[in-house]
Amino acid sequence: MSDEEKQTVLSDSLDVDLEAKLDKEETALGVEIRGLERVLPEDRKHTTMLDNLTMWLSADFSIAPLANGAIGLTVFGLSLTEAITVVVITNFVVLSVVSYFATFGPRLGLRQFVVSRFSFGWYPNKVMGILSSITSLGWSCVNVISAGLLLTSASNDKLPAWASILILAVLTSVIGIFGYKWVHRYQRFAWFPLLISFCILLGLAAPDITNVPDKNPDYPSRIGNILSYTATVISMVGWCTAACDFNVNMPENSNMFLVYIYTLIGTFVPTVFLMITGLLVVTTAQATDAYAAALGVGGNTPALMQTIYTTKLGGFGTFLTIIVALSVVQVNIANDYSLGLSLQVGGPAFFQRIPRWMWTLLGSAAYILVACFGANSYVSTLSNFLPLVGYWVLIYVTIVFIEDVVFRKGKYDATAWNKPSKLPHGYAAGAAFCLGMVAAGLGMNQAWAQGPLSKAVGPYGADIGTELGAGVAGIVYVILRPLEAKYTGRFQH
């Protein structure tokens, strides 16, 4: 018996076990039992369409987008106009793709990295699952460091960064282990106090906001910085790796246009609002010495936020600082939930027998350790990690999108989700991904590595790795996918 036949037999055995397990969806404590398993059409009872909106409003109303936006000025030295233009245009394109991926949930009842088995096949898709797990951990680190530094500032440095990180991670885990239903219940309301808090921040900063004009007369250098900042903003495409994980319980006959629109509003509005707020807030350092001292040479945006709050509002400002710091809970809930699913995809078959909530706890422990060590180099962690997310995720997204729109035209045999013999081998997707990553490497421009093609733009180079990687992967996949289908016959709908 071949390895693939053995895997199919094992999958059949798993299906029997899972069917028995899923007779009851939750434990007595309300912890979700379901992991990767497809939600059958008759089992989908989640009909609250607005949850597509509130889920993402809460996930994106956090300190992380604000801090990410700020580095357009603090790290890349753009003008305010240039940075805002990049934020609006790039996020609209990227989050439109995220919103399209959200429709996979109601259409197929499958999690995101199960959907990609229909393009990457069984084994290459495991690599995608592992990369997604690493990305989820990385995002959780970035988020919890941002919030942890803010909580530390609110305590006047009496609470060390590691303790702040630990507190926030524990709160996240407590909610995250319960799963789909409780995640939605929490996210329906979590965004509102954050909206109020960030609006107050913007109002407090408004009198000191100053314009940042074009200061760099070297046009090629400016273009290079714009492209590098764009690569950072593109990292928001990382939500594609979890976009449909949170609506798989919605009926097949759901209005897909509403799923798309609600997801787009829920991701685009808070992300753009907060990124622009971050850009505006850091300009106050030009007008106020106390704000400049808080921001520092390293660009500590969380410390600047805390200073603005407490300088203008005193004790109430400290309260708002804590509210904003707690925003990491709702964004990391989404990360931690999808982390468990990605690990189940990326690991061997027995990983699927380990409950998702256990993976959530293990993942939390892992990112707590990493975040505690990375807190002292926050800005470099932020500016170096985010483009790395964009490199591989955009390549992955390109391949899955082409498969869905060009080749399958939305038609899938969803019952084959766990049957390796009914899935493609993934030769075309694997080759396209590898060549796309090579192209991304040639175009990358990081502090620790610079690809030769990035040097073609400006004296300091430009990060064009995401665009090159996605372009090459798309071309290769369009060429190789029909060849794989012809010679293997494995692309059944």
Return d(Cα 84, Cα 181) in angstroms, integer: 36
Q: Please, which pLDDT band fits residue 27 given cuts at 50, 70 and 90?
A: low
pLDDT at 384: 60
The helix/strand count (H/E) of the chain reads as 20, 0
In tens, the pLDDT along 75-93 reads: 888 999 999 999 999 999 9
Return d(Cα 9, Cα 5) in angstroms, integer: 6
In tens, the pLDDT along 140-192 reads: 877 788 788 778 878 887 888 778 888 888 877 777 666 677 788 888 888 99
Q: Please, which pLDDT band fits residue 376 given cuts at 50, 70 and 90?
A: low
Q: Which of 353-362, 377-386, 409-418 has the highest mean pLDDT?
A: 409-418
Query: Taking the model in full, what pTM does it have?
Result: 0.87
Return d(Cα 61, Cα 270) in angstroms, integer: 6
In the structure encoding, which two tokens stand for residue 242, read together? 């979890």
pLDDT at 20: 46
DSSP sequence for 460-492: T----HHHHHHHHHHHHHHHHHHHHHHHH----
Return d(Cα 274, Cα 70) in angstroms, integer: 9
What value does the mean pLDDT of the chain take?
A: 84
pLDDT at 22: 46
For residue 323, pLDDT over 50 is answered with yes
In tens, the pLDDT along 439-468 reads: 999 998 876 678 888 888 767 778 888 899
Least confident of 229-243, 290-304, 358-372: 358-372
User: How many percent of the chain have pLDDT more than 90?
Assistant: 44
pLDDT at 334: 80
Q: Please, which pLDDT band fits residue 18 given cuts at 50, 70 and 90?
A: very low
Q: Which whole number is the average pLDDT over 29-36?
A: 66
Q: Which whole number is the average pLDDT over 411-434?
A: 93
**Which residue, 390, 24, 347, 319, is CA-closest to 155?**
319
pLDDT at 19: 46
Q: Which amino acid is at 61?
A: F
In tens, the pLDDT along 232-290 reads: 898 888 888 888 988 999 999 999 999 999 999 999 999 999 999 999 999 999 888 89
Angle at 252 between CA 246 and CA 253, to 5 degrees: 120
For residue 28, pLDDT over 80 is answered with no
The residue behind tokens 């989700």 is: 417
Axis-axis angle for helices 63-74, 378-402 (nearest 10): 110
In tens, the pLDDT along 464-488 reads: 888 999 999 999 999 999 999 999 8
pLDDT at 181: 75
CATH H superfamily, domain 49-377: Hydantoin permease (1.10.4160.10)
pLDDT at 24: 52
Q: Which residues contact 10 (CB under 8 A, 6 or more apart)?
A: 349
**Which residue, 315, 325, 314, 332, is CA-closest to 197?**
325
